[in-house]
Amino acid sequence: METIFFTIVAAVTVLSGIMVVTCRNPINSALSLILTFFCIATLYVTLDAPFMAAVQVLVYAGAIMVLIVFVIMLLNIRSEVGRRYTHAGIIGTVVGFLMLVLTFNFLNNSSLTGAKGLITTDVINKIGHTELIARSMFTDFLLPFEITSILLLVAIIGAVILSKKKI
């Protein structure tokens, strides 16, 4: 039963990911991305990582997608309905398919190293997902976390400046 559920969720994730790239309307593409984020959160739940699923929904499907939709509407991006296909779409499809084949080849021909990490199932059950993630985020990865927030702020300011007719 779990395998069938995983297969269905994985298929919806892949299809919505393809729709993100192929939709001509930017709002439809953003909605497909939200569906992709929710499917990934569902996969986190099946992996017994409820905190990661909640963060996925709150941060990505919530805050980041609101930001993306806000920027799309602020910049007034219109889809080009009458546009003809170019060779770039065909080249992108071929390159994507080759990357998929290479990834499957790599995964089938590789083996696990057998290396064990410091965080085992016993440590996760004793301390908890949330505390382990928070401890790692706010000690080892504090600088990248802060740089990401600054980059998001710069992106918002850039979108506002680009959308103004006169500054």
Q: In the listed set 49, 80, 111, which residue is the last one of a domain according to the structure?
A: 80
Residue 51: domain span: 1-80
Residues 130 and 74 in one domain: no
What the block records as the tokens of 28 is: 């439809």
Pair 45, 131: CB distance under 8 Å = no
Other beta carbons within 10 Å of 88: 8
Q: Is residue 97 part of a domain?
A: no
Q: Is residue 52 part of a domain?
A: yes
Tell me: do 18 and 72 sit in the same domain: yes
Q: Which of 55, 80, 105 is the last residue of a domain?
A: 80
What is the number of domains present in the chain? 2
What pLDDT is stored for residue 83 in this prediction? Answer: 56
Ordered per-residue pLDDT tens for the chain, 167 residues = 788 898 999 999 999 999 988 888 877 888 888 899 999 999 998 888 888 888 888 888 787 777 777 777 777 655 444 455 567 778 878 888 898 888 888 877 777 666 677 888 788 888 888 888 888 888 888 998 899 889 988 988 887 787 776 65
**Per-residue confidence (pLDDT) for residue 81, from 0 to 100:** 47
88 domain residue, yes or no:
no
Residue 87 lies in a domain: no
Q: So what's the pLDDT on residue 125?
A: 84
Give the alpha-carbon dihedral of 42, 45, 51, 52, to 10 degrees.
-50
| pLDDT value for 8 | 92
